[in-house]
Chain A
């Protein structure tokens, strides 16, 4: 295929600004709608899926478009996820494109996520086509959005395309703009293969399906390929493109987008960001930007009912098939029994896994507060790597502790510079740089302890900037810090699963907030329950949950029996979902309480 007939692009947008509807319209206009509907039906049918031998993930769709210059073009639309946890995956998708549609809601205007994604796209030198969507809405104000485009991001607003994905207005203009403005791919086809893996997933029938953009060279069915990060070799069984059903092809050449199936058993065999080359004719260097996925955040996952422990292991194994970033190791807690210490990319990733375990696998789980990995140096010279606060040795045995830092880059409108810097200082940030990207947009860079970022930093940042700030961060090594373990005692008994690591100066304050929060989330028991926060043997905060004294319904006559019984059944079910720690019943959210403390 000739490269000048190919355009690779993605759509970036703030959530709800109409990305998927716009994608649907583009598919429709390029004659893919009938097939797409078919594909949807196929997705619903297990039998057909088995016949086809592949599950469909609309990760990259190939469109045929006859432009006004009467030439046929192949347009590859590549999907992008959209959260800071997956920012690396987003960056790899962007690296597979030459252009991006920047979709903005004509009634909402530019929002934080729009900008975060836009800056990422600019970093990859993508051609940006601004699209002002939803112009059919009564509240649409495209002129305001145009001004915003020019003033806040310096994009020539005359280039913006006005569209309504709902009515179909402007879709042709978008397709023409893609052809005219997005550069054709340029890599040489006759050199060593370098193909970028921008996503992968595990298919139960075919093994791993790797989504690739061929930057240089060519890949063919039957080739022996090498993953440049792992040096592992595989033979290519199948190549395909999505239209949107998978169509097999014999080769994929420089500039093309498609998928590779090569007997890979584990998504770790096709890591996102890795470069595929040929065993017999390898490239000298991989493509830039590969970063092995390493979990940044750890937490304990425990079944409420200990009998579910094997089911939890099975479920985690199933999820890991499709998620290279998820790690888990068995661990035990005095309070919670047997469980797993799991590693995640970030908090959202953690929440997604937790929710999938509960929803898809019907597990009733307790998640402990997330932790980072600490490096401890003991007085008797040993070094410990610890990802669980409960495993901290006695303070007296510790010589020094190092914790992971990140370089946090925050983009914010200049009105919020003060509040953002204040927040970073509160979270032990070390100021690095501040620069005006445009007269109104500021980029602030801080070095911050990762542990402070995972403590609801993103939510706080959003609330202090009315949602406008965006955050990205990258690891910045380990630094020594004055940290202590904060223990929680319920009814006089320490609960290991509630221990957290915190800076010594913040410990008393955090202890007080945590004790108060626990008092709010733990329901009254039939006896008084003291809650204490302690550093070593020193109690820094104390609260008391008063005993439940009255819980009785005044009336129960003939018509009330069923209602009353159902009420009591719900009460009982609520108890079942709680963890019995000694004689105290503790709800699941108590173990996450440290994440939502009052400031």
Chain B
């Protein structure tokens, strides 16, 4: 089955500027000690190392054909297309990637080159994930984004002109100073462009960010919990009525356009990650590359895989993670697939938990799947915690 094939993730840990809310691993592109060119060359080397590693593993039933490639960041669009092409060539040379593979690049509207989109298209990229975040310029400014709505329109229209038929827009809500009206204004501008996929992320305030600092100092006026809940619920209704299916906590897609690569994560399927701070999940082992650029480069050039941490869970641990992730999907966890994979039913492990949350109306079994109810969706952590 195609949807059981693994995916490939490539991390580009550079940004032109760091947004005020972001706590991901990324380095300012102009101040970084390791140049983008050097980084891509290192990545290419890692691809070769990883190929040898894969060849040395016993097969263990995981297919070695890949159904997706996802370039994320950071800001992948800061990488000149030529360098990205070198990387892609190496990747396709070393790994068996299907012809129909979903190939996605994250694009920041403020960084894309004029002819970049066409080159992406020629390289085989068939899906763009565009970090629009908001269609309101003052909101973008407050977020510390390095682009305007005009940039976003230009990228989206340019992508369509370049022949892209699978676009995803990222939007954020629950932002400081953002009213419900302002949020739905952005949402309607997004749907007017008719992208195939929309991600709507609630702002999370992370401690080690400027937002975290300002929030603790009482300088951010974030919407009330009631307002945020209102935004969430109405978003689902609004997008639903416009043909977007709510298929994951924060993700909406037109039929047939659910993100295939990201769905691997939510189904707890296998993937290989390349690059600084990239994670992999392979044969039940989850492992991550080092966060530090210099250490990453040093390790790869010494022909050592740059793994910094690694974890293998027991059956119940893996099964729990599978539920934790699967409950993010509106369809939930398919019970048959689960039983086939782990050799037990969910009730054998979590009978009490499931009946408790079912009684409380947060969890249900429907169409052979264990899933969160609409009410349960808002309290996902409470339910998921019972399974880890």
Contact = CB atoms under 8 A, between A and B. Distances in A.
* A interacts with B: yes
B271 A554 contact: no
Interface string B184-203: 00000000000000000111
A575 B384 CA distance: 13
Given A562-B311, A568-B324, A557 B377 contact: no
Contacts, number: 93
B265 interface: yes
Contact of B201 (A555, A559, A562, A568): A555
Interface stretch (A335-343, A492-500, A545-553): A545-553
Interface in B333-385: 360, 362, 377-382, 384-385
B-side interface size class = 35 or more
Contacts of B72: 557
Interface in A543-584: 548-559, 561-562, 564-565, 567-569, 571-572, 575
From DSSP, what is the main secondary structure of chain B's interface residues? Answer: mixed
B376 to A, nearest CB: 10
21 contacts: A526-B360, A548-B379, A549-B229, A550-B229, A552-B377, A552-B378, A553-B380, A554-B201, A554-B203, A554-B250, A555-B201, A556-B325, A558-B273, A559-B278, A562-B288, A565-B320, A565-B321, A568-B381, A568-B384, A569-B388, A571-B385
Interface string B281-321: 10000101000000000000000000000010000000011
Contact of A553 (B278, B381, B388): B381
A551 B375 CA distance: 11
A558 B382 CA distance: 21
Nearest to A570: B385
A88 to B, nearest CB: 46
A526 B386 CA distance: 14
Nearest to B232: A550
B127 interface: no
B225 A556 contact: no
The 6 A-B pairs with the shortest beta carbon distances in the complex, nearest first, are A559-B279, A568-B385, A552-B380, A551-B381, A554-B202, A554-B201
A556 B388 contact: no
A562 B317 CA distance: 11
A550 B288 CA distance: 30
B103 interface: no
B382 A551 contact: yes
Contacts of A526: 360, 362, 379, 382
A-side interface size class = 20 to 34
Given A550-B228, A554-B204, A572-B386, 10 more contacts: A550-B379, A551-B378, A552-B381, A557-B265, A561-B321, A562-B288, A568-B384, A569-B385, A571-B385, A572-B388
B388 A557 contact: no
A565 B225 contact: no
B265 A551 contact: no
Contacts of A551: 378-382
Interface string B255-292: 00000001011100001010001111100001010000
B249 interface: yes
A572 B388 CA distance: 8
Looking at B278, B325, B388, the one whose CB has the most chain A CB atoms below 10 A away is B388
A559 B386 contact: no
B183 interface: no
